[in-house]
Amino acid sequence: MPEGRGALAGIRVTDTATLIAGPMVGSYLGELGAEVVKVEQPGAGDPLRTWGDAKDGIGLVWKSVSRNKRCVTLDLRQKDGQEVLEELIARSDVLVLGSRPSALARWGLTPADVLARHPGLIVLHVSGYGAGGPFSDRPGYGTLAEAMSGFAHLVGEPDGPPALPPFMLADGVAALAATHAVLAALYHRDVRGGGGQVIDVNLIEPLARLIESATLSYDQLGVNPRRSGSRFDASAPRNCYRTRDGHWVAISSASPRMAQRVFAVVGRPDMAGDPAYYSPAGRLARGDEIDRAVADWIKERPLAEVLETFQAQDCAIARVYDAEALLDDPHLVARGTFAAVDDPDLGPVRVQAPVARLSGTPGTVEHLGRSLGADNDEVYRGLLGFDEARVAELRANRTI
């Protein structure tokens, strides 16, 4: 990335984590201008390289998550690999760790130890369970977090099993929480004159925070919420509805006024004029009846008519998109949500652009994930100043 570009220009991040949560933090920071050095095991690299769909043997998710990063190889199981990492850490502002505590202890990389050696460093440890509890050293994955957070319990049809998302939900939510924590820690250090610190983020708690209404209801009312499909009767009508031509739309009615508009569209002026239906308490008590009225109206009409009619009355409605529709949506196309990035391996690849739009220091996607060890020379010779003899020794030992 050109020097001085982006809100985080001048910040260096060493990313040693694997898969999604920790590396996604590096992605977000890199979009904002930080220099991110991605450290991978020689030979195999990050397992994310082979995860999910691939084209010509190249993992597609890897390409996006590893955007804007320099990729180096380094075997942290070897003593000289740990020494090299120590030199890289000494030149970094942020260290991202993702391994279990027992592995970090073997490598001399426990967050507390690293901070003691580098008191100005921001040390982020993203793990399955977090520090301090009896599960800390168990293998932790997003699937388990989606179960333990209470998310899976709430998702699915009332008479069906719990449902797990077919994407990296817990990892993604944890990455967002961890990123804003890193930015807060950098502000504390660089603006307020504080020191470095350890940031402990697990995969369970950020997702549990999003569904805290369930634990609040149980704690204060003794009510343990159950699965309700796409229904949410406190905001009825709120559901996914199928049109006559087989498409699906989603409707939200978060306010009484919005509910009244929906009732008018579906030919139920009686509901629109009766607080027993449009008030929050009324919708909670009559969710089944309200949902049936909306579903019956929509199922008799094609998608185009449903969208046009609801939108004409300023109702909150959207078509349920698949990937093709998402890429082709005219509003998202106008905003440049998915940008084509030229990649030396795959050619043009449409990836999602940085989500937050900063007017003065916009985020950018300079390049997608690079090949394993592509930046070894630039980092080890250029950044760390190793001579040819040391690089040759590290290669001979298979440390890099």
18 in the same domain as 122: yes
Nearest to 186 by CA among 29, 341, 346: 29
User: Are residues 367 and 289 part of one domain?
Assistant: no
Residue 186 belongs to some domain of the structure: yes
Handedness of CA 325, 331, 334, 336 (dihedral sign): negative
Summarised one tens digit per residue, pLDDT across range 114-167 is: 999 999 999 999 999 999 999 999 999 999 999 999 999 999 999 999 999 999
Q: Which pLDDT tens digit goes with each residue over 335-394? A: 999 999 999 999 999 999 999 999 999 999 999 999 999 999 999 999 999 999 999 999
Starting at the edge strand that comes first in sequence, how are the strands of the sheet with 239-242 ordered?
Answer: 239-242, 248-252, 316-319
Residue 189 has pLDDT above 70, yes or no: yes
pLDDT tens digits for 322-351? 999 999 999 999 999 999 999 999 999 999
**Residue 86: φ, ψ to 5°:** -60, -40
Phi/psi region, residue 4 (left: phi>0; alpha: psi -120 to 50; beta: rest), is left
Average pLDDT in the chain? 96
Six-digit token pair at 260? 């009244």
- N- to C-terminal Cα distance for the chain? 23
Say how many domains are in the chain: 2
Amino acid at 372: L
2: confidence class by pLDDT, cuts 50, 70, 90: very low
Q: What is the pLDDT of residue 85?
A: 98
Q: Among residues 127, 91, 93, 95, which one has the least CA distance to residue 114? A: 95
- The answer to whether position 53 is within a domain reads yes
Domain-embedded: residue 85 = yes
**Adjacency order of strands within the sheet including 69-73:** 69-73, 35-40, 12-15, 94-97, 122-127, 197-202
214 found inside a domain: no
In sign, the C-alpha dihedral spanning 283, 311, 351, 7 is negative
User: Closest Cα to residue 203, out of 100, 332, 311?
Assistant: 100
Question: Does residue 186 sit in the same domain as residue 262?
Answer: no
Would you say residue 218 lies in a domain?
Answer: no
Same domain, residue pair 91 and 190: yes
Q: What is the pLDDT of residue 1?
A: 37
Contacts of 389 (CB under 8 A, 6+ apart): none
> Do 49 and 110 reside in the same domain of the chain?
yes
* Domain boundary, last residue among 280, 304, 319: 319
Together in a domain, 172 and 37 = yes
Distance CA 188, CA 167 (A): 34
The number of helix segments (H) and strand segments (E) in the chain equals 20, 13
**Residue 86 belongs to a domain with what CATH number?**
3.40.50.10540
Q: Note down the domain range covering 369.
A: 12-209+345-396
Say whether both 103 and 33 belong to one domain.
yes
Per-residue pLDDT tens over the stretch 236-258: 999 999 999 999 999 999 899 99
DSSP output for 80-145: HHHHHHHHHHHT-SEEEE-S-HHHHHHTT--HHHHHHH-TT-EEEEEESS-SSSTTTTS---HHHH
Same domain? For 125 and 257 the reply is no
- Asked whether residue 22 falls in the same domain as residue 140, the answer is yes
Whether the CA torsion 322, 323, 324, 328 is positive or negative: it is positive
Q: Is 171 a catalytic residue?
A: yes
| Cis preceding-peptide flag for 237 (omega within 30 of 0) | yes
CATH number of the domain that residue 310 is part of: 3.30.1540.10
Whether residue 181 is contained in a domain is answered as yes
Same domain for 141 and 195: yes
Mean pLDDT of 99-104: 94
What proportions of the chain, in percent to the nearest 5, are helix, strand and coil?
45, 15, 40
Q: Are residues 97 and 201 in the same domain?
A: yes
> Do 260 and 386 lie in a common domain?
no
Q: Of 46, 171, 233, 291, which one is the catalytic site residue?
A: 171
Q: Is residue 314 part of a domain?
A: yes
User: Cα–Cα distance between 219 and 354 in angstroms, integer?
Assistant: 38
Contact 381, 57 (CB under 8 A): no
Q: What is the token pair recorded at 184?
A: 């807060």
For the four alpha carbons of 316, 317, 322 and 328, in that order, the dihedral sign comes to negative
pLDDT band at residue 318 using 50, 70 and 90 as cut-offs = very high
